[in-house]
């Protein structure tokens, strides 16, 4: 950016002053890791988005597309950040064919409003992502964050069937389509999932929708030891029962959930009070299917080393299921200075988890572990302040977790940390060729680097 | 090449090369050289050597593809992966298998079925097609309705780039940080890299399966039943349709028990927990009855089930008996438009003077209209091509796409502009060039090369048994 360029004024010339905000107090709410943009733009049409991208390209400014900003601190600290492109003004349902179970919706559409809309037709989108109350379609896809229903419905890559977006040259592009089966052309929309706004501005996403299940059920049981919980997990996996979600919570997580639910006056299952490892199973379907799965999970729990377990009351299940969808949110704000990592292994073994817990234990801070199905772990540690010692300890644990992931051929992503920890976090160990391939994709979508560089792991 | 791979792994005589001029489509493209590597390193060396002589390189599995993806359009070196056919690792606990690209699709399932696992993508050529080809084309099959296509079952790939570099994308557990390169490479039809190793996800077999045959007086009723089944949110594992004319041809050949006097049949399969299967089968029966089904039969045992499927799986072979040639189109439409689509196809057939048969994956809107014609009659050929173009155009007009599972290849590359704009092509081209800048790999595929029309080609009679 040139020193003399008055970004808000020039932007106002390009798309009109009504769309541009430059008040410092508002700019502050769009800051990322302390980086404040020079202007906020709120386009209401695809054409306006294109104008902004072309302007930024000409002026060599860096754009970050944003939705409700609920998860915009995901990713590495950008190298540059000049224009916040607030996409919440594009929020139409462009196409919905309930008979075909396909949907095409603007990026700024809030997930909650979409859910209400689809519910009227007995359908839903299995995008059960954190910050659900405020999250937008585009932000959720761009963040690539896990859906709590992943076990049953897969991730976004399994039900996003197409997308429209503005690439780094300011051109309107599309990929995929509106049909559920399609191999026409490259699956570019898959690249947008989890791209954190670095490849293009997503303007519209096409989904396949799903019928709402008739009913759902939940089961919870407790274990004195982690190893017992993992044995139970294995038994459930081997049963072949189709679960919507399965999670193991360490005693500290159970305590956190209990505290939050109690404060909110919501139903708290007594299992959460036992300061033990908890295993939660969620399942859905028709009444007969739900009762069959419930019975089998109960049997598995009875055959395990843990407490007998219990089918949750509907209110308890809604409360606990909702909390686990939101775990990213309350884990990252679990203390004044916390670090939250997502780790993925082929298998979440006792040895790995023990090592993680020892790593956290060495700092004296409380730590949280959530083991999800499919080898996904959430791991957080909670410091009480951003003191130098605390930051150093967070750094040690974060780097240790990343090293552990590398050693075990897994992956670790730092989802949240104080900005200094984030900046110094061990960068992902892409091999030079893997890094080069990532960079080539970025250069193909965004040849002049108009979308915030440095935000994707590896400094892309 | 001979000094690199040994005499027996290289073919260069015209009579040998002739065999590799075809695939499952009737496109043609003769390679100058066919090589059979055994290792990734050999693939890398072949690619480097070819680059020295500026020869294009195309990968090929079993050659069952239906869009010319595995043909040497620009001549050059064809790498046949048939001898890279080892299953490297099976991890039952993690439900993963690591295989070389030349492993036959069905052989993965055979290797793991003792543990109640299987590889879900099931193109009808599963007995012969290879995993590498499945990855390149993002292959489908009847059961993709419930379980998704190949891309949903691939965890990681090892690839050789056009400069010979060996790279890996994805990981055994699935995702990786950064962009989803695995998602990009699957279905890129060999135009970005050559696949040299595949880590597949293994699915767990359902505890119960039920196969139903719903028999209708008219194709309109059958397609309405598909619309209703979809709209009600019932997801069968498979939902295939055969129209009356096609099922009669099939029945005469296969004797699967399809009633010869019906207007159309739906072959449906439901899988899952016993309770779910019972409920879904009952719901399907209800919908079919509402849509005036004459009868809904349920296969009583594995033998009956096998017989019902035998009709579907051998249908294209059966069609080979009634006309000198047929060609199978592959288009997709929104499922709610199924009755309209079939009506339009009928009209297009009539206009061009053909009977067009329909045997297809109705449940996911993936049409396979079949035009029967005599290739010796130049006029027929021309009309067949015109009809095909009109049908694909109609699919696009109804909100659909050019191909659901066969790929673009050199069959539909000139039709891509029905769907994509210049800006779309520019971006796809930049992505292509990011990995394959000199078009050394599989040139002349996916992207239009402005060769004019007539790109939808004709399927030959001898392709019996190799189909959708």
Which residues make up the CATH 3.30.70.2740 domain(s) of chain B? 323-463
Q: According to CATH, where is 3.30.43.10 located in chain B?
A: 2-82
Of B233, B222, B230, B242, the C-alpha closest to B292 is B222
Those residues with Cβ within 8 angstroms of residue B366's Cβ, 6 or more apart along the chain or in another chain: A181, B140, B330, B331, B332, B360, B404, B405
Question: Tell me: domain B323-463, CATH 3.30.70.2740, correct?
Answer: yes
Report the C-alpha gap between A204 and A94 in whole angstroms. 8
B35-78, pLDDT tens digit by residue? 999 999 999 999 999 999 999 999 999 999 989 999 999 899 99
Q: Smallest CA–CA separation between A318 and chain B, in Å?
A: 23
CA separation for the pair B296, A124 (Å, rounded) = 30
Comparing CA positions, the residue from B190, B162, B188 lying closest to residue B23 is B190
Containing H/E element for A102? strand A102-106
Phi and psi torsions of A46, nearest 5°: -60, -40
Pick A413's closest partner by Cβ from B116, B177, B406: B177
The answer to whether A456 contacts chain B (CB < 8 Å) is yes
Identify the architecture of domain B2-82 in CATH: 2-Layer Sandwich (3.30)
Are B144 and A445 in contact (CB < 8 Å)? no
Residue-by-residue pLDDT tens, chain A, 460 positions: 445 679 999 999 999 999 999 999 999 999 999 999 999 999 999 999 999 999 999 999 999 999 999 999 899 899 999 999 999 999 999 999 999 999 999 999 999 999 999 999 999 999 999 999 999 999 999 999 999 999 999 999 999 999 999 999 999 999 999 999 999 999 999 999 999 999 999 999 999 999 999 999 999 999 999 999 999 999 999 888 999 999 999 999 999 999 999 999 999 999 999 989 999 999 999 999 999 999 999 999 999 999 889 999 999 999 999 999 999 999 999 999 999 999 999 888 999 999 999 999 999 999 999 999 888 999 999 999 999 999 999 999 999 999 999 898 898 999 999 989 988 886 666 788 989 999 999 999 999 999 999 998 888 8
Angle CA B428–B172–A380, to nearest 5? 100
Residue B350: CB atoms within 10 A of its CB come to 12
Is B430–A445 a contact, with Cβ atoms under 8 angstroms apart? Answer: yes
A216-227 per-residue burial string, b: 16 or more CB within 10 A, e: under 16: bbbbbbbbeebe
- Contact of A180 with chain B, judged by CB distance below 8 Å, is answered with yes
Pick from B136, B227, B231: nearest CA to B184? B136
Region of A229 on the Ramachandran plot (φ > 0 left; ψ -120 to 50 alpha; else beta): alpha
Number of neighbouring beta carbons within 10 Å of residue A294: 18
How many C-beta atoms surround the C-beta of residue B360 within 10 A?
29
- Does residue B420 sit at the A interface (CB-CB below 8 Å)? yes
Q: Which chain B residue has its CA at the smallest distance from A241's CA?
A: B273
What is B85-204's CATH topology?
A: 3.30.465
Of A178, A188, A430, the CB nearest to B178: A430
ipTM of the complex as predicted: 0.96
Structural domains in chain A plus CATH codes: 92-211 (3.30.465.10), 215-325 (3.30.70.3450), 328-424 (3.30.70.1130)
Q: What angle do CA B231, B405, B373 make, to 5 degrees?
A: 105
Two structure tokens written together for A409: 């051929």
Cβ atoms A355, A179 nearer than 8 A? no
Q: Hey, which residues does A35 pair with through a beta bridge?
A: A32
Q: Where in chain B is the domain with CATH 3.30.465.10?
A: 85-204
pTM: 0.95
Nearest CA among B94, B63, B126 for reference residue B203: B94
Counting one residue from A and one from B, how many pairs have CB atoms under 8 Å apart?
Answer: 237
| CB nearest A183 (choices: B93, B206, B403) | B403
Burial class (CB in 10 A: 0-12, 13-18, 19+), A426: middle
CB-closest option in A102, A174, A190 to B183: A190
Structure tokens at B157: 């790939």
Backbone angles phi, psi at B283, to 5 degrees: -65, -40
Beta strand B194-201 with B77-80 is unpaired
Euclidean distance between CA atoms A262 and B63, whole angstroms: 63
Nearest CA in chain B to A103: B334
Nearest chain B Cα to A292, which residue? B275
**SS3 label, residue B168:** strand
CA angle in degrees (0–180, nearest 5) for B448-B449-B452 = 90
**Looking at domain B208-313, which of 3.40.50.2000, 3.30.70.3450, 1.10.3720.10, 3.40.50.720 is its CATH number?**
3.30.70.3450
Which sign does the torsion angle of CA B150, B151, B152, B158 carry?
positive
CB B407 within 8 A of CB B137: yes
Q: Which residues contact A276 (CB under 8 A, 6 or more apart)?
A: A222, A223, A224, A251, A254, A306, A307
Residues of A in contact with B417 (CB under 8 A): none
B179 neighbourhood in chain A, CB within 8 Å: 191, 194-195, 199, 438, 441-442, 456
């Amino acid at each position: 950016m040139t020193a003399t360029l008055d970004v808000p004024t020039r932007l106002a010339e390009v798309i009109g002053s009504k769309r541009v905000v430059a008040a410092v107090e508002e700019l502050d709410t769009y800051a990322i890791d302390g980086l404040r943009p020079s202007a906020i733009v709120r386009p209401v049409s695809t054409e306006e988005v294109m104008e902004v991208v072309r302007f930024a390209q000409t002026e060599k400014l860096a754009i970050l597309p944003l939705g409700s900003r609920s998860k915009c601190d995901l990713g590495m600290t950008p190298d540059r950040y000049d224009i916040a492109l607030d996409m919440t003004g594009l929020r139409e349902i462009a196409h919905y064919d309930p008979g075909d179970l396909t949907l095409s919706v603007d990026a700024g559409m809030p997930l909650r409003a979409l859910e209400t809309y689809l519910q009227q037709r007995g359908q839903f989108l299995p995008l059960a992502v954190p910050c659900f109350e405020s999250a937008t379609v585009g932000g959720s896809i761009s963040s690539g964050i896990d859906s709590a229903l992943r076990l049953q419905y897969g991730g976004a890559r399994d039900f996003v069937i197409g997308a429209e977006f503005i690439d780094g040259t300011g051109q309107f592009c599309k990929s995929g389509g509106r049909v559920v089966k399609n191999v026409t052309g490259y699956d570019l929309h898959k690249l947008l999932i989890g791209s954190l706004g670095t490849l293009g501005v997503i303007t519209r996403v096409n989904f396949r929708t799903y019928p709402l299940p008739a009913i759902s059920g939940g089961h919870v049981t407790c274990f004195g030891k982690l190893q017992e919980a993992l044995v139970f997990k294995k038994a459930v996996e081997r049963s072949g029962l189709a679960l919507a979600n399965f999670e193991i919570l360490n005693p500290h997580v159970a305590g956190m959930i209990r505290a939050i639910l109690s404060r909110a006056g919501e139903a708290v299952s007594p299992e959460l009070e036992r300061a033990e490892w908890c295993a939660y199973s969620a399942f859905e379907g028709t009444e007969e299917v739900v009762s069959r799965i419930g019975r089998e999970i109960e049997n598995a729990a009875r055959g395990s080393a843990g407490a007998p377990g219990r089918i949750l009351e509907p209110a308890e299940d809604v409360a606990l299921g909702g909390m686990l969808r939101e775990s990213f949110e309350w884990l990252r704000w679990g203390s004044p200075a916390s670090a939250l990592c997502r780790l993925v292994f082929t298998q979440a073994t006792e040895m790995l988890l023990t090592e993680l817990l020892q790593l956290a234990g060495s700092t004296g801070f409380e730590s949280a572990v959530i083991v999800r199905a499919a080898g996904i772990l959430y791991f957080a540690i909670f410091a009480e302040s951003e003191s130098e010692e605390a930051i150093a300890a967070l750094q040690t644990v974060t780097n240790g977790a990343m090293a552990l992931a590398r050693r075990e051929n897994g992956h670790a992503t730092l989802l949240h940390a104080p900005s200094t920890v984030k900046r110094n976090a061990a960068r992902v160990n892409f091999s030079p060729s893997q890094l080069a391939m990532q960079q080539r994709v970025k250069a193909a979508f965004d040849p002049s680097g108009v979308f915030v560089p440095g935000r994707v792991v590896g400094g892309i | 090449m001979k000094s690199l791979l040994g005499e027996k792994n290289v073919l260069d005589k015209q009579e040998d090369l002739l065999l590799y001029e075809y695939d499952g489509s009737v496109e043609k493209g003769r390679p100058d050289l066919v090589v059979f590597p055994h290792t990734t390193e050999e693939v890398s060396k072949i690619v480097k050597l070819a680059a020295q002589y500026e020869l294009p390189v195309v990968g090929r599995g079993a050659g069952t593809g239906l869009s010319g993806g595995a043909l040497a359009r620009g001549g050059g070196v064809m790498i046949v992966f048939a001898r890279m056919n080892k299953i490297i690792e099976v991890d039952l606990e993690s439900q993963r298998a690591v295989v070389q690209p030349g492993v036959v699709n069905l052989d993965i399932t055979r290797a793991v079925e003792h543990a109640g696992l299987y590889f879900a993508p099931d193109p009808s050529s599963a007995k012969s097609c290879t995993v590498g080809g499945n990855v390149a084309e993002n292959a489908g099959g009847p059961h993709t309705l419930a379980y998704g296509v190949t891309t949903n079952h691939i965890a990681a790939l090892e690839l050789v780039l056009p400069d010979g570099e060996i790279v890996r994308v994805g990981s055994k557990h699935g995702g990786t940080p950064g962009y989803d390169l695995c998602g990009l490479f699957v279905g890129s039809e060999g135009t970005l890299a050559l696949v040299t190793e595949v880590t597949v996800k293994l699915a767990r077999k359902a505890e119960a399966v039920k196969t139903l045959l719903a028999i209708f007086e008219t194709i309109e009723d059958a397609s309405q039943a598909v619309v209703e089944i979809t709209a009600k949110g019932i997801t069968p594992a498979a939902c295939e349709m055969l129209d009356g004319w096609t099922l009669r041809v099939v029945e005469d050949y296969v004797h699967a028990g399809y009633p010869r006097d019906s207007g159309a049949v739906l072959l449906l399969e439901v899988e899952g927990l016993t309770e779910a299967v019972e409920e879904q089968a009952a719901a399907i029966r209800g919908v079919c009855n509402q849509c005036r089904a004459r009868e809904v039969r349920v296969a009583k045992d594995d033998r009956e089930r096998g017989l019902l499927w035998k009709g579907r799986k051998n249908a294209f072979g059966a069609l080979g008996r009634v006309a000198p040639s047929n060609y199978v189109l592959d288009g997709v439409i929104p499922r709610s438009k199924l009755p309209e689509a079939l009506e339009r196809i009928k009209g297009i057939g009539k206009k061009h003077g053909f009977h067009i048969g329909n045997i297809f994956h109705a449940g996911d809107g993936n049409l396979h209209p079949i035009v029967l014609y005599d290739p010796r009659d130049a006029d027929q050929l021309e009309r067949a091509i015109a009809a095909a173009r009109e049908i694909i155009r109609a699919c696009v007009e109804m909100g659909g796409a050019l191909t659901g599972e066969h790929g673009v290849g050199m069959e539909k590359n000139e039709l891509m502009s029905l769907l994509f704009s210049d800006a779309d092509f520019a971006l796809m081209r930049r992505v292509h060039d990011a990995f394959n800048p000199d078009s050394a790999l599989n040139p002349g595929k996916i992207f239009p090369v402005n060769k004019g029309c007539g790109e939808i080609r004709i399927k030959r009679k001898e392709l019996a048994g190799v189909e959708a």
